[in-house]
């Protein structure tokens, strides 16, 4: 396999695509390959800034002719192993959003961020099933399963996909759905990458214009008390109440609200889709726990959905690991607080538990490869990337090993990021689902043009 691309061949590709074709050293190359996770530095042999499906077909055909592996990047929020020496298709120019208010659907281009869908759907009183950060790419998130802020109320984003357009390894555009190329449609909804380049997707929207939502920020010293109270509370709340708790070590920087800067905090995030007075009554036991450093919960338009989790908006350097949990009982809380709570630093900068169940547990009419319907909670951990002085021996894996008694045995693909987390992608699936994914891959990408970590035989090198 070639690891460099002759400039003449790249010039030929430049004539066939509308977007930029960039080689290492050329102006714009570094900007085009950069993503949100600074811990992953991709050094592709060339980058194609696709403007539409025709550009993607040309890029995929070129890669096949030159035996170059292909990876896709929208925002780089889910960056895993770098596609060094291959061809990187960037999709940020494919940013069309078309809302059909009557059908309650949106057709989104491959490079669309959730914030763009939120803005376009809001005038119709509709909302997409986006996650905590509106800056994440709609397509990459949904291909990985998509755990929305309104998860218990409406379920996985992947369950709301109506159809997917993609370019497969043969260089053809296909429209797949429940009745067309059903095997690919199954694999893409949860199996994410390794099957082709998705050029657009039709997704369902939900009728939500406003929420009772925001965050309760408690001092880090209250971690044990707050987490015990929260986990008991999750046993009583209806499906209209969505929540999570994060143990945070916040930096002392301008982007962090003044009362929280440089502190350890416990951040309870809530998003209630029912009436505000009902939401306030449900939240009362948590507010009664004591003084908050900050309390932002109130009625907000759906367009302010990013305020619920307050995820960072500037690029960061991190590794992310996850474990899906069957249960989160008192001893599980103690185990988590001991390792990630207010005691001496273990290198874990965020430990987040999300309350699952509700609609997430129900089978949709057309299930996909996503398979976490048995999970009652999700646990994800952020650490500095392995290899930095701060990181030390993987504190995240040490903690996850201790949490195994409560685990389902599987991880959530979307919560495996960075150099270390992405290598665990195969652990997101049951053996049966992995075998079925491998069969779909063999049928549609027999030459392995689209490497994917979770679809490689064990011990056979890297993928993205």
CB 395 within 8 A of CB 336: no
Q: How many residues bind ligand FAD (CB under 6 A)?
A: 34
**Binding to ligand FAD by residue 144, rule CB under 6 A?**
yes
**Binding to ligand FAD by residue 383, rule CB under 6 A?**
no
**Binding to ligand FAD by residue 73, rule CB under 6 A?**
yes
**Binding to ligand FAD by residue 140, rule CB under 6 A?**
yes
What is the pairing mode between strands 161-167 and 173-176?
antiparallel
**Binding to ligand FAD by residue 464, rule CB under 6 A?**
yes
Q: What whole-number distance in Å separates Cα of residue 81 and Cα of residue 422?
A: 7
**Binding to ligand FAD by residue 47, rule CB under 6 A?**
no
Beta partners for residue 73, in sequence order? 90
Closest residue by Cα to residue 451 from 87, 142, 78, 101: 87
DSSP state at residue 384: P
CB crowding 136-146: b at 16 or more within 10 Å, else e: bbbbbbbbbbb
Nearest approach, Cβ of residue 398 and ligand FAD (Å): 23
Q: What whole-number distance in Å separates Cα of residue 333 and Cα of residue 234?
A: 13
Q: What whole-number distance in Å separates Cα of residue 80 and Cα of residue 463?
A: 8
Nearest approach, Cβ of residue 183 and ligand FAD (Å): 16
**Binding to ligand FAD by residue 128, rule CB under 6 A?**
no
Beta partners for residue 305, in sequence order? none
Classify residue 403 by burial, with Cβ atoms within 10 Å: 0-12, 13-18, 19+: middle
**Binding to ligand FAD by residue 71, rule CB under 6 A?**
yes
What is the pairing mode between strands 87-90 and 70-73?
parallel
**Binding to ligand FAD by residue 147, rule CB under 6 A?**
yes
Which range, of 134-142, 227-235, 248-256, 292-300, touches ligand FAD by CB under 6 A? 134-142
Give the nearer residue to ligand FAD in terms of CB position, either 139 or 184. Answer: 139
Nearest approach, Cβ of residue 407 and ligand FAD (Å): 18
N-term to C-term CA, the chain:
17
Nearest approach, Cβ of residue 316 and ligand FAD (Å): 8
Structure tokens belonging to residue 147? 């755990």
Which range, of 138-146, 202-210, 219-227, 271-279, touches ligand FAD by CB under 6 A? 138-146
Helices 330-340 and 223-234, packing angle to 10 deg: 150
Nearest approach, Cβ of residue 463 and ligand FAD (Å): 9
Give the nearer residue to ligand FAD in terms of CB position, either 42 or 346. Answer: 42
**Binding to ligand FAD by residue 425, rule CB under 6 A?**
no
**Binding to ligand FAD by residue 52, rule CB under 6 A?**
no
**Binding to ligand FAD by residue 83, rule CB under 6 A?**
no
Among 47, 63, 68, 74, binds ligand FAD (CB under 6 A): 74
Give the nearer residue to ligand FAD in terms of CB position, either 214 or 417. Answer: 417
Q: How far is CA 377 from CA 166, 287, 426, 458, in A?
A: 32, 22, 20, 28
Q: What whole-number distance in Å separates Cα of residue 390 and Cα of residue 410?
A: 27
Q: What whole-number distance in Å separates Cα of residue 199 and Cα of residue 432?
A: 28
Nearest approach, Cβ of residue 139 and ligand FAD (Å): 5
CB crowding 198-208: b at 16 or more within 10 Å, else e: bbbbbbbbbeb
**Binding to ligand FAD by residue 453, rule CB under 6 A?**
no
Among 193, 242, 322, 383, binds ligand FAD (CB under 6 A): 193
Which range, of 96-104, 127-135, 172-180, 455-463, touches ligand FAD by CB under 6 A? 127-135
Please list, in sequence order, all residues whose beta carbon lies within 8 angstroms of the beta carbon of residue 120, skipping any fewer than 6 positions away. 97, 99, 106
**Binding to ligand FAD by residue 91, rule CB under 6 A?**
yes
CB 277 within 8 A of CB 297: no
Which range, of 72-80, 336-344, 360-368, 433-441, touches ligand FAD by CB under 6 A? 72-80
DSSP state at residue 162: E
**Binding to ligand FAD by residue 171, rule CB under 6 A?**
no
Nearest approach, Cβ of residue 291 and ligand FAD (Å): 28
Which range, of 189-197, 255-263, 362-370, 429-437, touches ligand FAD by CB under 6 A? 189-197
Q: How far is CA 358 from CA 17, 333, 337, in A?
A: 46, 21, 26
Footprint of ligand FAD on 13-42 (CB under 6 A): 35-36
Give the nearer residue to ligand FAD in terms of CB position, either 143 or 237. Answer: 143
Among 50, 60, 108, 139, binds ligand FAD (CB under 6 A): 139
Nearest approach, Cβ of residue 454 and ligand FAD (Å): 10
Could you list the residues that contact ligand FAD (CB under 6 A)?
35-36, 71-80, 91, 110, 131-133, 136-137, 139-141, 143-144, 146-147, 192-193, 197-198, 311, 414, 417, 464
């Amino acid at each position: 396999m070639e690891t460099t691309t002759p400039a003449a061949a790249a010039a030929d590709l430049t004539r066939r695509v509308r977007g930029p074709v960039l080689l290492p050293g050329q102006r714009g190359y570094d900007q085009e390959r950069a993503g949100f996770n600074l811990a992953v530095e991709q050094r592709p042999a060339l980058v194609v800034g696709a403007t539409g499906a025709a550009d993607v077909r040309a890029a995929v055909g070129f890669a096949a002719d030159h035996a170059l592996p292909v990876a896709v990047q929208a925002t780089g929020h889910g960056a895993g192993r770098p596609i060094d020496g291959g061809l990187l298709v960037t999709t940020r120019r494919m940013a069309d959003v078309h809302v059909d208010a009557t059908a309650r659907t949106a057709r989104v281009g491959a490079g669309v961020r959730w914030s763009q869908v939120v803005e376009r759907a809001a005038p119709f009183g509709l909302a997409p099933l986006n996650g905590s950060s509106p800056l994440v790419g709609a397509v990459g998130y949904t291909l990985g399963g998509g755990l929305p802020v309104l998860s218990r109320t409406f379920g996985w984003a992947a369950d709301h996909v109506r159809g997917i357009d993609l370019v497969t390894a043969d260089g053809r555009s296909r429209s797949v759905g429940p009745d067309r190329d059903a095997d690919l449609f199954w694999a893409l909804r949860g199996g994410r990458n390794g099957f082709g380049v998705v050029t657009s997707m039709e997704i369902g929207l939900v009728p939500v214009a406003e929420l009772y939502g925001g965050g309760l920020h408690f001092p880090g010293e209250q971690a044990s008390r707050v987490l015990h109270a929260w986990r008991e509370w999750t046993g009583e709340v209806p499906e209209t109440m969505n929540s999570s708790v994060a143990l945070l070590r916040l930096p002392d920087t301008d982007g962090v609200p003044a009362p929280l800067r440089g502190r350890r905090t416990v951040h309870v995030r809530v998003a209630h889709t029912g009436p505000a007075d009902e939401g306030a009554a449900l939240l009362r036991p948590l507010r009664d726990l004591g003084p908050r450093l900050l309390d932002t919960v109130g009625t907000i338009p759906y367009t302010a959905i990013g305020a619920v989790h307050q995820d960072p908006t500037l690029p960061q350097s991190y590794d992310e690991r996850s474990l899906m949990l069957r249960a989160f009982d008192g001893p599980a809380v103690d185990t988590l607080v001991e390792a990630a709570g207010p005691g001496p630093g273990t290198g874990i900068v965020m430990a987040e538990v999300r309350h699952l169940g509700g609609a997430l547990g129900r089978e949709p009419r057309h299930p996909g490869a996503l398979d976490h319907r048995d999970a009652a909670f999700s646990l994800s951990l952020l650490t500095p990337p392995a290899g930095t002085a701060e990181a030390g021996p993987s504190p995240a894996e040490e903690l996850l090993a201790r949490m195994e008694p409560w685990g389902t045995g599987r991880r959530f693909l979307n919560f495996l990021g960075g150099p270390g987390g992405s290598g665990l992608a195969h652990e997101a699936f049951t053996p049966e689902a992995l075998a079925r994914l491998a069969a779909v891959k063999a049928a549609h990408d027999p030459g392995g043009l689209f490497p994917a970590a979770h679809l490689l035989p064990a011990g056979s090198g890297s993928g993205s």
